[in-house]
Structure 1
Amino acid sequence: MSAVVVEDRGPVRVLTIDRPARRNALDLDDRLELLDALKTADREARAIVLTGAGTVFCAGGDIRSMSQDPEVARQRLEVVNAVVRQMVTGERPIVAAVEGGAFGLGLALASACDVVVAGRSATFSTSFAKIGLAPDTGLSYTLPLRVGRGRTRELLLTARTFDATEAERIGVVETLVDDGAALEAAAAAATALAELSAPMVAGVRHLLAQPDQSLEGLLAAEADTQVELLGGPQFAEGRAAFLERRRPDFLNS
C-alpha cells in the first residue's frame, strides 16, 4: 500500500501521508516515497498541500524501524535531508494542513512548508529529546526561521508539547481553523498561491533559502532574480494587467 496518496485539485497537488495505523510515522520506505512524490509534484503542479490521513498529521519517525547501525542510520538521515532540501529549495510553494499533531519529524515537515494551517485542537512537539536524540529533518534550520533562536533552543531542549494557539502566537502556524477544516483551508491557500506568477514564487523561495543570507549576499541575489523576472513573460502580463486595470492571468501567460 502506498505511503503517500496523491490527489490533484486543479493546479494544486495534495499529498497525504497514509500510515494512520502508526499515526503516520515514517520508516525508510515511506520517506523515499514522500521524496519522490514531492519531486514529482514540483514538476507537475503549481502548488502543493501536505497533510496526514486519520487523526494525526505525522507522529515523526517510526521508532520501531530506527537502527543503531551507523550505516543504516546515515542512510535514513540522508533521505530525510533530501526531503527537507526538496521542500525548502524546490520551485513550488507548499502548504501544510495539520490536524491532531505534528511531532519530531512531523513538526520538521510542517516547519519546512511556506504556510501552515492547523486545526484548533492540534498539538506540536519537537519530541526528539524525549528519546535522547537531537533534531533532524532540517528542524534546527526551519524552526529558528519561524520562532527565533531563543525559542527554538527552549523547544528543542524541553521537547514540551504546545497547543495550536501557542503555535500560532510564536509563528509555527500561520492560520488556525476549526478542527476538520485544515485540509480545505490549506487547499484554498494553495490555490491562491498557484494563481500567482510561478517564476516570482520560485524566485522568492530561492532568495529565502540561498546559503548566503548576509546583506550583500541577498542584495546580489535580489538583483539577479529581479533582472531575470523583468525579462520574462509573467512580468509582461503583470505590467499589462496593471496598466489595463485588470487582474493578471499568470496561469495562462
Structure 2
Amino acid sequence: MSAVRTEDRGSVRILTLDRPERRNALNLEDRLELLEALRAADREARAIVLTGAGAVFCAGGDITSMSQDRSVAAHRLQVVGSIVEQLHGGERPIVAAVEGGAYGLGLALAVGSDLLVAGRSATFSTSFAQVGLAPDTGLAYSLPFRVGRGRTRELLLTARMVSADEAERIGMVDMLADDGAVLEAAVSSAQRLAELSAPMVAGVRRILHMSDQSLQGVLAAEAETQVDLLAGPEFAEGRDAFLERRKPNFNRV
C-alpha cells in the first residue's frame, strides 16, 4: 500500500501521508515515496497541499525503523535532506494541513511549507530531544523563519508541547481552522495561490530561501527576479487586467 495518497482538485494536488496505523510516522521507504510525490506534484500541479490521514498529521520518523548503523543513518538523512530541498527549492507553493499534531520530522514538514493551517486542538513539538536526538529534516533552518532564533532554541532544547493557540500567536502556524475543516481551509488557500502568477510565486520562494540573505544579496536577487518578471507574459496580463479593471487570469498565459 502506498504511503502517500494523491488527489487532484483542479490545479491543486493533495498529498496525504497514509500510514494512520502508526500516526503517519515515516520510515525510509515512506520518505522516498514522499520525495517522489513532491517532485511529481511540482511538475504537474500549480499548488500542493500536504496533509495526513487519521488523527495525526505526522508523528515524525518511525523510531522502530531507525538504525544505529552510521551508513544507514547517513542515507536516511540524505533522503530527508532531499525532501527539505524540494520543499524549499521547488517551483510550486505548499500548504500544510495539520490535524491532531505534528512532531519531530512531522513538524519540520509542516513549518517547511509556505503556509501552515492547523486545527484548533492540534499540538506541536520538536520532540527530537525526547529520544536523545538533535533536529533534522531542516527544522533548525525552517523554524527560525517562523518563530525567531531565540524561540527556536527553547523549543528544540525542551521539546515541550505547543498548543495551536500558542503556535498561531508565535508565528509557527499561519491560520487556525475548526477541527475537521482544516483540509478544506488548506485547499482553499492553495487554490488562491494556484491562481497567482506561477513565475512570481517561484521567484518569491527563491528569494526567501536563497542562502545569501544579506541586504546586498536580497537586493540583487530581487532585481534579477523583477527584470525577468517585467519581461514576461504574466506581468503583461496583470498590467492589462489592472488597466481594464478585471481580475487577471494568469493560468491562460
Q: How many residue pairs end up in the alignment?
A: 253
How far the C-alpha of 1:144 sits from its partner, in A, is 0.3
Shift in Å, 1:190: 0.1
Give the structure 2 partner of residue 149 of structure 1.
149
Residue pairs, 1:5-84, within 5 angstroms: 5-84=5-84
Structure 2 equivalent of residue 242 of structure 1: 242
* Secondary structure of the structure 1 residue equivalent to 2:176: strand
Q: Which runs of 5+ in 1 are unaligned?
A: none
Is 2:95 the partner of 1:95?
yes
Runs of 4+ deviating beyond 2 Å: none
**Structure 1 residue aligned with 2:116:** 116
- In the other structure, the counterpart of 2:166 is 166
Residue 97 of structure 1: how far off its partner (Å): 0.4
Amino acid at match of 2:5: V
Structure-to-structure mapping, 1:190-201, within 5 angstroms = 190-201=190-201
- Displacement of 1:62: 0.1
* Cα distance in 1, alignment partners of residues 236 and 69 from structure 2: 55
User: What's the RMSD between the two structures over aligned residues?
Assistant: 0.4
Tell me the distance in 1 between the aligned counterparts of 2:162 and 2:243: 48
Deviation of 1:105 after TM superposition, in Å, equals 0.2
TM-score (norm 1): 1.00
Could you tell me which amino acid in structure 1 is paired with residue 58 of structure 2? C
Structure 2 stretches lacking a partner, 5+ long: none
> Identity of paired residues, percent?
74
Distance 1:83 1:33 in 2: 10
- C-alpha distance in structure 2 between counterparts of 1:162 and 1:238, whole Å: 41
Cα separation, 2, equivalents of 1:158 and 1:216: 36
SS in 2 for 1:251: helix
- Distance apart, 1:252 and its partner CA: 1.0
Q: Secondary structure at the match of 2:250?
A: coil
